[in-house]
Amino acid sequence: MKKIFTVVVALCLCFCLTFSSVAAGVETNTESYTSYSAVEKMFFNIVDDLVSTLVKAIAHFIPTPDSWNSDEAVDGFMEGTEEFLDAPAANAKWSLGYDSRSILPENKDDVIGKYYVAGTIGFEPKYATEVYDDLKVRTVVLNDGSGRGSAVFCVIDSYGLALSDVRGIRSRLSSWAEEKGINTITVSVMHQHSAIDTFGMNGNIIEMVLFNPLFTMFNQNTVNGKDDAYMENLFTKCVDSIKAAEEGMAEGEMYLGTADASKYTNDKRQPYVMDANFNRLRFVPADGSKETWLVSTPIHCVGNGAGGTEVTGDYPYYAEQTIGDTANVLFYLGAEEGTTQERNENTVVDFKEDGSRMDHTIGFGKAIANDLMAITDETEVAPLLNIRYKEIYLPIDNQILVVAGKAGLFENCVKKVDGTYSVLTEIGYMEIGEDIAFAIIPGEIAAELVYGGTLKAEYAWSGEDFEWPSLQEIVTETAGDRELHVLGLANDQIGYIIPDNDYMPMLHEDSKSLEFVSLGETTASRIVAEFNTMMLDLD
């Protein structure tokens, strides 16, 4: 019986999570929408309920980690600037520091055969077989000269990082941050499906399913795709990078420019709404030293495929190499939930029909770099930085993720709230200058939730409209005429954030596998509601 149970769990996890690796999408595509018949909806809803019931039954027999039932607080929350300014302080000037460093071992060959690669999972251990380039941590520390402290933005070449690990990084910096007047430390990832696993889901699934329940029962540490030595090195490099960036801060001016990103990406799922821009914040030091660019991108890092075993930093690495001495570059992800890379002669330098995935990844990065370097139309950004974070709880309604969590495949902060297991996470809001705002989101959010355009009842799976306004509308209503950008996969990896009214059965082909790794059908509305509350509390 135990053997059968183990195989069933393994099959459920392997099947569900393997499909979750398919990368999913301000511009609205003109493709016609699909509507679904009542019979089709009924059939798939019944199948979905049956699968959910089966997986829930499996979850019941897997021991619950003690931490899930613990009332102990999770240290490391940083709220942000206590006072929000409406205008720059008198004589204010921007100050910025930058640092970048490798997070791979000094001898990159040490990666091969030792560390798991993120992207997909399966029965066979997915060890790294080759290292194409490098994985890095890149850090910017920014101060608006108002005397309210500096904000840290740290972006890691990684598939994902749980809040528990982000809080661990902050804890190592707590005394230093207080001494230096750091008001926030934001840690996000570029979500490479070709990076070393730092989230846990890509380890040996049979080993995890077979042994982790026993380890949990006897209060022993569980195993997953994360390697302790790699994670320790990652934390150390992040801490060192943050400190070095702060130490190297210099005064200067900031400019905003945009380039067209729409040709590089394709939204796989209706309503085909995409963030159509690369947004480039360009910092120019007053001392004439090297510029620093902060660039948003709505494009998934899946250039070498989701199932490969070769390690690569994907297109951001090659864009950075192409920009070279012109500027330091820090990419961060925007609203990229349903998007894939669009590779053709217009988006890949030296494109060849028979070119390899890596050839196209290199050319893809070069093309993006060329577009970024060609930006000429810019506006100056006033020295003003307001930032605020809010802790929230999101129920885990997706039983597959309950099983995965209990089996040790991820290490998010899970707590029992009102009888339901929920993920503790963070959302944030930031203003840079007098015209720009940022929604800081802990997962991969659908662009229509940010910019508008959610499906109407006629096309939505639920047959209803989405009841909440877009995040942009909330910002306009509460903070004035600011253009909203997104800093995604920040401080946590909670999966896909899908509008409630179009949360589909996982086995329907139009799901594009997004629901497999979404916390549940109310995740989007809960995040929007909490974001709205946070914005109202700023007044």
Tell me the per-residue pLDDT of 411-458, one tens digit each, with 9 for 90 and over: 899 998 888 899 999 999 999 999 999 999 999 999 999 999 999 999
Q: What is the pLDDT of residue 15?
A: 41
* Angle 27-30-34 from CA coordinates, rounded to 5°: 115
Q: What is the pLDDT of residue 6?
A: 40
Structure confidence at residue 536 (pLDDT) = 96
**d(Cα 427, Cα 264) in Å, to the nearest integer?**
28
Looking at residue 16, its pLDDT comes to 42
- Is the predicted pLDDT of residue 124 greater than 90, yes or no? no
**What pLDDT, on the 0 to 100 scale, is given for residue 122?**
66
Look at residue 539 in the predicted model and tell me its pLDDT. 63
Give the span between the Cα atoms of 416 and 71, in whole angstroms.
8
How far is C-alpha 396 from the chain's CA centre? 18
pLDDT of residue 27: 53
- 22 confidence band (pLDDT: 50, 70, 90): very low
Burial 148-162 (b: 16+ CB within 10 A, else e): bbbbbbbbbbbbbbb
Give dist(CA 507, CA 15) in Å, integer. Answer: 11
Separation CA 135–CA 310 (nearest Å) = 12
Q: What digits encode the pLDDT tens for the residues 230-255? A: 999 999 999 999 999 999 999 999 99
Q: How would residue 20 be classed by pLDDT, with cut points 50, 70 and 90?
A: very low
**Beta-strand relationship, 378-381 and 250-260:** antiparallel
Higher pLDDT, residue 158 or 4 = 158
